[in-house]
Structure 1
Amino acid sequence: MNLPFSQEQFFEVFAAYNLALWPAQIALNALAMAMLAVVLWAPRRAGRLVSWGLALLWTWQALAYHLAFFWSINPAAPFFAAVSLVAATAFAWQGGIRRALQFQPGLSVRSVAGLIQIVFALLIYPAIGAYIGHRYPASPTFGLPCPTTLFTFGLLLMAAPNLPRIVVLAPLAWALIGSTAALALGVNEDLGLVVVAALGVYMLLRRSAPTGDSPQLPQP
């Protein structure tokens, strides 16, 4: 895979982003923890809150990372920003406005798998990166594309069945893009995106419904 930048330039962009936008990383992690908390403790009220939270995260990575920093080394960054904004729009419309993204009480096998993936995105992912030498600030922190994609699919696995396909498409696209780049750049912590991509295909084929056909759960 031929890339228009080197591994060194790639990690330099992470460092520039993290140093310039600190302490936004703390706020983004706090947002993620709040979203997980509402799913676990108030699932029937979580759909809209989580949807708007995901819309914010995907808008953030489009503007604050792809356009503000990644574009300096990769001319494809505006395309990646557009994919992220498509995801943000899908979450805002389908989940925030139409309420088509819902959560139910209890933990199924899929929900437990989603919870494990969220723990991986927030805790294990940065630990693996630090262990193999990708230390802050030259490391992908939460709010950047790959950990955000992992976190997003964790929440989607915890969601009620028949979520709209459109909310899966853009994160799946990034999982495929990120997993191939991980192999080329040696970002081994991103190899979890291969699993995410497989889960995305499964969700598209088995768990999701066409746009506009999603049933809505009653709100208390």
Structure 2
Amino acid sequence: MLPFSHDAFVAVFAAYNRIFWPAEMAAFMLAPLLVALVLWPSRARSRALLALLALQWLFTGIVYLGLFLAKLSPAGYVFAGLFAAEGLLLLGEAVRGGGPLFAPRGGLSGILGAGLLVYAGFLYPLIGRLLGPGYPAVPAFGITPCPLVLFTLGLFLLTAGRVGAHLLAVPLLWTLVGGSAAFLLAIPQDWVLLASGPAMIAALASRRGASGVTSGRGVRPGRRRSAFGRLHASEP
């Protein structure tokens, strides 16, 4: 059992969205730019993507989870810390320049990654408005946890080379936390979270050669570029 009701939960979204609707509009406007950075891959564009994604994780963690959800449950502070930590990790990779190289892919990773981007950016808000209580009492794209996690996982699947496990830990954990809470709180657009975690792991495990998940900080940029060429040659 959760320490709050469905009505109390969606009331938090309503209060949050009424104040920060400009941030949601900015997140929607940012989404096509992030996709464009994937479609025209380079190390510089990947660093820019990581930095922009980091801002969304930091904002969601500090503002939504730390200042709004925490009013319903002290667990909000824990989740705020996790999201802020993920944001700092993403920002660190952007500054360091050794993070994932985002690029179009074929195969299972490419299909699932593109599907998650479309779902998080378009279908997710549509389902919330059609099957939920309606705006503003719904999770906002890019500035609330569940759609942000789905969009992030989609981006991570569209990478050449390896994605560090340190970057995947919090998003994958949230697929369990948010997915299970979605059933208890009757948030239908979040139900896909429970399936997205195992699907993500399966897609990364299916990668051949230099692709997949590593427990370290990834591979050197030069190796990523060579791996990218092999991926396009070997994947359907």
TM-score by length of 1: 0.91
State which drifts further: 120-129 or 107-116.
Answer: 107-116
* Alpha-carbon distance in structure 1 between the residues aligned to 2:92 and 2:98: 8
Corresponding residue of 1:30: 29
Q: One-letter code of the match for 1:68?
A: L
AA at the equivalent of 1:122: G
Give 2:5's aligned residue.
6
Q: 1:51-200 alignment to 2 at 5 Å?
A: 51-104=50-103, 106-109=104-107, 110-142=109-141, 143-200=143-200
Q: Return the offset for 1:213.
A: 4.3
User: Does the C-alpha gap of structure 1 residues 195 and 66 become closer, same or farther in structure 2, counting only changes over 3 Å?
Assistant: same
CA deviation vs aligned residue, 1:122-163 (integer Å, no higher than 9, x gap): 100111111213310001111200000000000001111311
What's the CA shift for 1:62?
Answer: 0.6
C-alpha deviation, 1:21, in angstroms: 1.2
> Are 2:98 and 2:217, in contact at CA under 8 Å, matched by a contact in 1?
no
Q: Matched residue of 2:124: which SS?
A: helix
Instruction: Tell me whether 1:209 sits opposite 2:221 in the alignment.
Output: no
Describe the superposition over 1:12-55 as per-residue Cα deviations: whole angstroms up to 9, x where unpaired.
Answer: 00000000112111011112221111111x21243101111111
Letter aligned with residue 192 of structure 2: G
**Contact 2:153-2:171 at 8 Å conserved across structures:** yes
Q: Percent identity?
A: 31
Counterpart amino acid of residue 43 in structure 1? P
CA distance in 1, matches of 2:105, 2:97: 24
Number of equivalent positions = 216
Give the equivalent residue in structure 1 for 2:234. Answer: none
Runs of 4+ in 1 over 4 A off after TM superposition: 203-206
CA distance in 1, matches of 2:22, 2:183: 30
Long gaps (5+) in structure 1: none
| Equivalent residue letter for 1:57 | Q
Over the residues paired in the alignment, what is the CA RMSD in angstroms? 1.8
- What is the rounded CA distance, in whole Å, between the counterparts of 1:171 and 1:16 in structure 2? 25
Aligned CA distance change for structure 1 residues 141 and 16 (closer, same or farther; 3 Å): same
> Helix, strand or coil: the match of 1:69?
helix
| Corresponding letter in the other structure for 2:64 | Y
Is 1:21 aligned to residue 20 of structure 2? yes
- Stretch moving more, 155-164 or 5-14: 155-164
1:80 Cα deviation after fit: 0.3
Structure 1 residues 100 and 76 mapped into 2: Cα distance closer, same or farther (>3 Å)?
same
